[in-house]
Amino acid sequence: MPFDVEKARADFPILSREIKGKPLIYLDSGASAQKPNAVIDAMSAAMRHSYANVHRGLHTLANETTDAYEAGRETVARFIGAQTNEIVFTKSATEAINLVAYSWGEHLQAGDEILTTEMEHHANIVPWYMLAQRKGVKLTYVPIRDDGSLDMAAFNQLLTPKVKLVAVTHMSNVLGTINPISDIVAKAHSVGAKVMVDGCQGVVHLPVNVKALDVDFYAFSAHKLYGPTGLGILYAKADILENMPPWQGGGEMIAHVSKEKITWNEPPHRFEAGTPAILEVIGLKAAIDWLAQFDRGEIAAHEHALYQRAHDRLSRINSLRIHGEAPGKGAILTFSLGQAHAHDVAQILDRYNVAVRAGTHCAEPLMTRLGVTSTVRASIALYNTDAEIDVLAEAVAKAQSFFA
């Protein structure tokens, strides 16, 4: 159906909350999005009506819950254009990337290289740093341009046959930059490198088809996609998963255990040791099903219009610097306000019930590149409105006068 922001907002009970008699304005969805009733109700119904542990159970509740859990896997696979056996559930996107580093990364040798970028979230840096320390692999950073776009000329120079993995974000959680993933993948594959994409922001704001992109690995989290916390998703090509060893031992990931020998389950279960996030998968399915009622293109247009409104209003404020203005960027607006610390700015905005994120945003190498110690980030979601953006602009203007 056509996207209607008021209809969408009505599905989020928290958005009707008032604090000290004024509406809540939530512009922190890049950290974690709010949850629609569909998600809340689905998880509650599963606990009230049909909950048991999944797989191997023979009773009715176990079968019902297993069916619901695996239906969640099927829904995720359809959502990103994957096969069901290519979807691994983890506790977070961070864990999904670590899984790749510790399992697939074991075949790397000293002298091999990993390319990442200056704009990455720590989750797409630290696991590769740890792998480099463990295996003697070289970790190299592709620089960004002043507008926040990736320096593709530098990428082309750094991409040599020694590179075995390119780890890159689909959409920067700080700058909103949307990287040319198809181009990066084609170039990486031409020298025999695999590509790991951090899709935590990308999958929320962009239609994603992993087969069309031809990525080898794609990770994202449920809680940024209007679903619950405690659940990450790793997509990996079936043939790659088949040749990856398990990275955690326990129940479910095994085929057979004896005193003398243990054999592994088939992917994706090989990588899901122990009781999984059952209710969270059910909640994520509900979130994706809820999102499917809207036209993704219309949502993107709505979010872009809000970003442009915010950009236009905030850019008029003296001493305010917007970070990241790459062409075609997503609906994330990050800024500095003179010499004021980002935490102080965020606290003033909170007086007007405007919730934003302040700090390094788990991207310290990027902060160094930008020449700042911290920034304020307003991340826009489908449920935000023109009126909320106007309150943001007014609150930032008042903060600016406070620090003048």
Looking at residue 387, its pLDDT comes to 98
Report pLDDT digits (tens) over 371-386. Answer: 999 999 999 999 999 9
Over residues 353-373, the mean pLDDT reads 98
Bridge partner list, 138: 113
At the second CATH level, the architecture of 5-28+295-403 is Alpha-Beta Complex (3.90)
Cβ-based neighbours of 143, under 8 Å, separated by 6 or more:
117, 118, 151, 154, 369
The C-alpha atoms of residue 368 and residue 356 are separated, in whole angstroms, by 21
- Write out the H or E segment, with its range, that includes residue 379: strand 375-379
Active site (annotated) includes residue 200: no
The C-alpha atoms of residue 124 and residue 230 are separated, in whole angstroms, by 18
Cβ-based neighbours of 73, under 8 Å, separated by 6 or more:
84, 87, 89, 268, 281
Over residues 287-316, the mean pLDDT reads 97
The C-alpha atoms of residue 216 and residue 212 are separated, in whole angstroms, by 11
Report pLDDT digits (tens) over 147-158. Answer: 999 999 999 999
The fold adopted by the segment(s) 40-291 is Aspartate Aminotransferase; domain 2 (3.40.640)
High-pLDDT (> 70) share of the chain, %: 100
Contact assessment for residue 62 and residue 91, using Cβ atoms and an 8 Å cutoff: no
High-pLDDT (> 90) share of the chain, %: 96
Q: What is the DSSP string of 2-49?
A: ---HHHHHHT-GGGG-EETTEE-EE-BTTT-----HHHHHHHHHHHHH
Report pLDDT digits (tens) over 213-225. Answer: 999 999 999 999 9
Report pLDDT digits (tens) over 203-213. Answer: 999 999 999 99
Report pLDDT digits (tens) over 257-290. Answer: 999 999 999 999 999 999 999 999 999 999 999 9
pLDDT for 7 beyond 90? yes
**Residue of 5, 300, 362, 367 marked active site:** 362
Over residues 335-348, the mean pLDDT reads 96
User: Taking the domains of the chain in order of start, what are their residue ranges?
Assistant: 5-28+295-403, 40-291
Q: If pLDDT is split at 50, 70 and 90, which confidence band does 403 have?
A: confident
**Three-state SS for 204?**
helix
Contact assessment for residue 98 and residue 345, using Cβ atoms and an 8 Å cutoff: no
Looking at residue 125, its pLDDT comes to 98
Looking at residue 90, its pLDDT comes to 98
**Three-state SS for 135?**
helix
What average pLDDT does the chain have?
97
Over residues 356-368, the mean pLDDT reads 98
Looking at residue 1, its pLDDT comes to 60
Strands (E), 106-249: 113-117, 138-142, 163-169, 194-198, 217-221, 232-236
The C-alpha atoms of residue 7 and residue 139 are separated, in whole angstroms, by 47
**Three-state SS for 192?**
coil
Report pLDDT digits (tens) over 29-65. Answer: 999 999 999 999 999 999 999 999 999 889 999 999 9
